[in-house]
Amino acid sequence: MLRDRHSRRVDYVRVSVTDRCNLRCIYCMPSDGAPRLPHQEILSYEEILRFVGVAARAGISKVRLTGGEPLLRKGFVYLVEEIAGRYPHLDLSLTTNGTLLAQYAADLRRAGLKRVNISVDSLDPDKYRSITRGGELKAALEGLEAALDEGLEPVKVNVVTLKHVNEEVEGFVELVCRLPVHVRFIEYMSPCGACDPQLYVPSDRVRRRLEALGPLKEAPPPAGAGPAIYFRLPGSRGTLGFISPMSSHICGECNRLRITADGKLKACLFSPGEVDVKSLLRSGASDEDILGSIRSCLKAKKRGRDQEASPRRAMYQVGG
């Protein structure tokens, strides 16, 4: 079992498989795009599999594959199949923007993927196109429907709460009334973000808008709920949740590590600190050495976010 220096059990790792994305969301990437890492700087699938194996044997039970957009990486279904086949006890999930998911949902389910989180920051096609700098809402919603059809449940819908969200609350309510999905309103994490911090909207403001539509009853969390608090409106098939990293200081319950696409292990999304796992993987290091790097990272994990620390990387470079 892995524990950090504050005795918190750490059983969850987020693995970024690519820094590339087919969208350019305003809160994630700079307006002029982002430089791509050279291919040789990205962890290979075999390197990812080795790291996941060491982590799984040490006590990690949840692995989430992220990007960039993971479905852009060639052979991604193979990676899912290998992780699921070698480590069937893992809760293996995916975060995606959903625009390619309709094409891959059936294959991913057969490969062993258990569930998905899909980013849909607006249900208005024009606003969605503006936020993503060119994305098509129709493709993301087709991906959502495909995930439900294939049983990749629970299907969670991630909504970054920028100022436009208060104008769209009714649309997301209609979504959870129509479909068994779990919409999570996630506060914009401006320290790692790429757009105007003044677009930030706290969770309680969105909640007040929801409460005006009907009584919110606290609901049991779906599988892999993480730090979200969930509610249900009368008659809805799904739930509405809130993740409030800026206003509610959820760091004290953090149980996760992150490894970037270029092989740097991070104990905190906001922290500049990193451990270079890629160099170990490529230098013939033993599994015990890899485990040592994980434990070293955990020793640096703080109880809460350092308000003075400046993240070394933007969101797209870490994998969320």
When pLDDT is averaged across residues 75-84 and rounded to a whole number, the result is 98
Q: Is residue 2 part of a domain?
A: no
> What's the pLDDT at 201?
87
How many domains does the chain fold into? 1
When pLDDT is averaged across residues 219-223 and rounded to a whole number, the result is 90
When pLDDT is averaged across residues 173-181 and rounded to a whole number, the result is 97
> 19-73: per-residue pLDDT in tens?
999 999 998 887 777 778 999 999 999 999 999 999 999 999 999 999 999 999 9
> 132-150: per-residue pLDDT in tens?
999 999 999 999 999 999 9
What percent of the chain is predicted at pLDDT more than 70? 93
> What's the pLDDT at 189?
78
When pLDDT is averaged across residues 187-211 and rounded to a whole number, the result is 81
The region of weakest confidence among 12-21, 290-299, 309-318 is 309-318
When pLDDT is averaged across residues 221-237 and rounded to a whole number, the result is 88
SS3 content of the chain, % helix, strand, coil (to 5): 35, 20, 45
- The pLDDT mean for the chain works out to 91
Whether the CB-CB separation of 184 and 145 falls below 8 Å is answered with: no
Is pLDDT above 90 for 170? yes
pLDDT band at 282 (very low <50, low <70, confident <90, very high): very high
> What's the pLDDT at 128?
97
When pLDDT is averaged across residues 102-118 and rounded to a whole number, the result is 98
Q: Is residue 273 part of a domain?
A: yes
Residue 221 DSSP class: P
Q: Is residue 3 part of a domain?
A: no
Q: Is residue 4 part of a domain?
A: no
When pLDDT is averaged across residues 106-131 and rounded to a whole number, the result is 97
| Domain extent at residue 276 | 12-318
C-alpha dihedral sign at 165, 222, 236, 153? positive
Q: What order of strands is seen across the sheet that includes strand 229-232? A: 217-218, 229-232, 239-243, 181-187, 155-161, 115-119, 91-96, 62-66, 12-16, 256-259, 264-266, 275-276
> What's the pLDDT at 249?
66
Q: Is residue 189 part of a domain?
A: yes
Find the length of the chain: 320
DSSP SS3 for 49: helix
pLDDT band at 309 (very low <50, low <70, confident <90, very high): low
When pLDDT is averaged across residues 260-272 and rounded to a whole number, the result is 89
> What's the pLDDT at 225?
65
pLDDT band at 191 (very low <50, low <70, confident <90, very high): low
Q: Is residue 108 part of a domain?
A: yes
> What's the pLDDT at 100?
98
When pLDDT is averaged across residues 187-209 and rounded to a whole number, the result is 81
> What's the pLDDT at 244?
84
Q: Spell out the long-range contacts of 106-112 with Cβ–Cβ below 8 A and sequence spacing 24 or more.
A: 106/146, 106/150, 107/77, 108/77, 108/80, 108/150, 108/152, 109/150, 109/151, 109/152, 111/77, 111/78, 111/80, 111/81, 111/84, 112/80, 112/81, 112/83, 112/84, 112/85, 112/88
Q: Which residues contact 105 (CB under 8 A, 6 or more apart)?
A: 143, 146, 147, 149, 150, 152
Q: Is residue 1 part of a domain?
A: no
Distance set, CA 53 to CA 88, 102, 114, 235 (Å): 11, 29, 18, 43
> What's the pLDDT at 186?
93
Tell me the two tokens of residue 259.
Answer: 């490894």
Whether the CB-CB separation of 301 and 269 falls below 8 Å is answered with: no
Is pLDDT above 60 for 310? no
Q: Is residue 193 part of a domain?
A: yes
CATH code at position 259: 3.20.20.70
